[in-house]
Amino acid sequence: MIWMIVCLCSTHLLHAQIYDPFLKTAKPRAASITGLLPPPPMIAAVPVIPPTVVSAVMNNKAFINGAWYRVGDRVNNQEVTYIQNNFVGLKEGNRLTMIAVGGARRVLGTKEVQ
């Protein structure tokens, strides 16, 4: 017991600080203008092309991505080349893609054409 009192008194004499978990710390100072680093370079966002969904076919028109299209119209940079009862043909450059009519995008086939 006496040893504990001696230790407490000696820390006061040595000006030692005892850790106080409830003591608030000082707020950090704001950095000076010259000490700031330049912001990181911005990364360009990659454009997201929505998937082509053919919902319905009626009277030689196809309901693609929420709008009606005929043969010769363009959808997402693809030309509607033909419309059948069960699928639609879309051409982009030399590539022809057949997409089935239905809720989910179902690609029936893709081929290179001239």
pLDDT at 91 over 90: yes
Average pLDDT for residues 83-98, to the nearest whole number?
92
pTM of the entire structure?
0.56
Average pLDDT over residues 10-19: 61
Quote the CA–CA distance of 78 and 96 in Å, as a whole number. Answer: 9
Is the predicted pLDDT of residue 93 greater than 60, yes or no? yes
Q: How far apart are the first and last CA of the chain?
A: 99
Among candidates 76, 113, 83, 112, which has minimal Cα distance to 99? 83
pLDDT of res. 16: 59
Percentage, residues of the chain above pLDDT 70? 75
